[in-house]
């Protein structure tokens, strides 16, 4: 009977029982594993997750006005957009504008409001200068503000500020694909003369894709040669492949300008040999971009291909030929499928690196060859419009991730079929 009682009553087991010991050992192992992974995880969070997260956030962040003018923002969000905001909002605006010079707040709201209309920055400055010295309680702020500048008596001025009030905005993301919100809030395309970024994204993908294909076309035979030649020759060739790898990117880019310019080495030798009569335009256009980027990225294609090809035994191909296959069929159906993982690694590496290229197209390209990162740099460095910079970056990130997923699928399926 005692056994049934013990079974039906889940008494707390003594500390020394096997299960508890196991659990403790298991927990200890878990903590140990966690401790080993922790530095890497922490590193990833600090240098990867946090910056990317903050970039994604910045692309919709609209808290400039709210952080500097909380009362005005609250008042404007309750305003119905007809006539003028009420007196208490006006008073709050005057008080908060006066205080905004502390801590750089004025700069932030000036920049933000200028996106709604180019006159806001100077309007705020004029108003700030015209504000009376003391904040008297019985001043009628509506009249005072209109006296300082007539625009404060216009509904559209306040509507612009109201649009900047909500804590998040889609304006940067929309602007990054040439869209905007119209007067009634509907999404519409921007004026034809200003459309830019759809073409820039398309161009970025085309250039990166083109560079990847050219690198594959050049890199595959080269890697094959390296993998099949006797070790001494292939080592020498390998050094030649790696040599540009160790040279500064800027130097290699500048070298291409010197080689390809109108009176450069290439044009002069072509003219001297009578191939052409007048110099070809080889740089400051798309051709120059392809030359320089392929040259710089080629090692990233050759190295993964080479490492995979090195591990492929030549006997498979020989076996195929001895069984009656045409040499090309043996190459295409037996050899190439074994290099798929190298091709996949090389192309994805080159493509993703090419997507982010900035300095090379900036130096050897024309105005029609600039990629997304050029505009990210422009907004970050020249105009401090981090919202736009983050939105462009976020969209590029999302597009890259989607392409990567599709690509991953395709490569995996191919391998499955082969297997």
Which of 12, 274, 324, 367 touches another protein (CB under 8 A)? 367
Which of 98, 121, 252, 414 touches another protein (CB under 8 A)? 121
Q: CA–CA distance from 146 to each of 81, 93, 97, 326 (Å)?
A: 18, 13, 15, 88
**Under the criterion CB under 8 A, does residue 195 sit at the interface with another protein?**
yes
At how many degrees (to 10) do helices 265-272 and 249-260 cross? 30
Which of 17, 67, 122, 247 touches another protein (CB under 8 A)? 122
**Under the criterion CB under 8 A, does residue 118 sit at the interface with another protein?**
yes
**Under the criterion CB under 8 A, does residue 106 sit at the interface with another protein?**
yes
**Under the criterion CB under 8 A, does residue 151 sit at the interface with another protein?**
no
Which of 75, 85, 110, 299 touches another protein (CB under 8 A)? 110
**Under the criterion CB under 8 A, does residue 199 sit at the interface with another protein?**
yes
**Under the criterion CB under 8 A, does residue 107 sit at the interface with another protein?**
yes
**Under the criterion CB under 8 A, does residue 119 sit at the interface with another protein?**
yes
HSE of 26 in the Cβ direction (CA atoms, 13 Å)?
Answer: 6
CB neighbourhood size of 366 (10 A): 14
Task: Report the run of H or E that residue 143 belongs to, with start and end.
Answer: helix 141-148
Coil vs helix vs strand at 419: coil
Which of 270, 334, 363, 397 touches another protein (CB under 8 A)? 363
Which of 97, 375, 389, 396 touches another protein (CB under 8 A)? 375
Q: CA–CA distance from 382 to each of 178, 365, 378, 399 (Å)?
A: 20, 20, 5, 25
Which of 22, 44, 196, 402 touches another protein (CB under 8 A)? 196
First CA to last CA distance, the chain:
61
**Under the criterion CB under 8 A, does residue 104 sit at the interface with another protein?**
yes
CB neighbourhood size of 354 (10 A): 25
**Under the criterion CB under 8 A, does residue 125 sit at the interface with another protein?**
yes
Which of 368, 398, 406, 410 touches another protein (CB under 8 A)? 368
- Under rule CB under 8 A, which residues in 236-265 are in contact with another protein? 261-263
d(CA 60, CA 92): 26
Taking a C-beta distance cutoff of 8 angstroms, is the pair 224, 309 a contact? yes
- Under rule CB under 8 A, which residues in 41-80 are in contact with another protein? none
How many chain residues bind another protein (CB under 8 A)?
36
**Under the criterion CB under 8 A, does residue 286 sit at the interface with another protein?**
no
Which of 194, 276, 310, 410 touches another protein (CB under 8 A)? 194
- Under rule CB under 8 A, which residues in 378-407 are in contact with another protein? 378, 382-385
| Least distance (Å) between residue 263 CB and another protein | 5
Tokens 């395309």, located at residue: 189
Q: CA–CA distance from 415 to each of 82, 317, 344 (Å)?
A: 64, 18, 11
Q: Which of 151, 94, 90, 80 has the alpha carbon at shortest distance from 120?
A: 151
Which of 55, 222, 266, 362 touches another protein (CB under 8 A)? 362
Which of 59, 204, 347, 370 touches another protein (CB under 8 A)? 370
| Least distance (Å) between residue 186 CB and another protein | 21
Beta bridge partners of 189: 179
Task: Report the run of H or E that residue 126 belongs to, with start and end.
Answer: helix 120-130
Q: Which of 122, 96, 102 has the alpha carbon at shortest distance from 110?
A: 122
Q: Which residues bind another protein (CB under 8 A)?
A: 101-104, 106-107, 110, 114, 118-119, 121-122, 125, 193-196, 199-200, 203, 261-263, 284, 362-363, 366-368, 370, 375, 378, 382-385
């Amino acid at each position: 009977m005692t056994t049934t009682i013990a079974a039906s009553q889940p008494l707390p087991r003594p500390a020394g029982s096997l299960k508890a010991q196991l659990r403790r050992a298991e927990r200890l192992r878990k903590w140990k594993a966690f401790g080993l992974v922790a530095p890497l995880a922490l590193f990833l969070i600090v240098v990867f997750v946090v910056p990317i997260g903050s970039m994604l956030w910045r692309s919709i962040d609209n808290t400039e006005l709210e952080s500097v003018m909380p009362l005005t923002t609250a008042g404007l969000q309750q305003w119905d957009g007809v006539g003028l905001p009420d007196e208490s909002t006006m008073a709050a605006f005057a008080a908060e504008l006066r205080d905004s010079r502390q801590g750089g707040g004025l700069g932030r709201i000036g920049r933000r409001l200028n996106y709604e209309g180019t006159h806001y920055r100077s309007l705020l400055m004029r108003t700030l200068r015209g504000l009376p010295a003391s904040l008297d309680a019985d001043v009628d702020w509506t009249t005072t503000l209109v006296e300082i500048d007539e625009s404060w008596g216009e509904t559209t001025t306040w509507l612009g500020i109201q649009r900047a009030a909500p804590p998040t905005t889609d304006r940067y993301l929309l602007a990054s694909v040439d869209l905007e919100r119209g007067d009634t809030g509907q999404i519409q395309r921007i004026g034809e003369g200003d459309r830019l970024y759809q073409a820039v994204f398309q161009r970025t993908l085309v250039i990166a894709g083109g560079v990847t294909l050219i690198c594959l076309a050049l890199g595959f035979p080269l890697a094959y040669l390296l993998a099949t030649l006797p070790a001494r020759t292939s080592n020498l060739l390998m050094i030649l492949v790696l040599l540009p790898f160790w040279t500064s990117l800027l130097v290699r880019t500048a070298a291409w300008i010197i080689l390809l310019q109108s009176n450069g080495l290439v044009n002069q030798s072509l003219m001297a040999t009578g191939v052409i009569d007048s110099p070809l335009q080889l740089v400051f256009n798309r051709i120059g971009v392809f030359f320089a980027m392929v040259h710089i990225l080629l090692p990233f294609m050759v190295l993964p291909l080479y490492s995979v090809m090195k591990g492929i035994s030549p006997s498979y191909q020989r076996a195929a030929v001895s069984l009656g296959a045409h040499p090309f069929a043996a190459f295409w159906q037996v050899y190439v499928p074994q290099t798929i993982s190298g091709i996949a690694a090389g192309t994805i590496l080159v493509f993703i690196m090419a997507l982010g290229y900035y300095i090379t197209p900036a130096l050897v390209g024309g105005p029609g060859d600039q990629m997304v990162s050029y505009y990210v740099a422009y907004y970050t460095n020249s105009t401090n419009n981090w919202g736009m910079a983050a939105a462009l970056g976020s969209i590029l990130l999302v597009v890259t991730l989607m392409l990567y997923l599709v690509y991953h699928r395709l490569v995996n399926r191919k391998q499955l079929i082969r297997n």
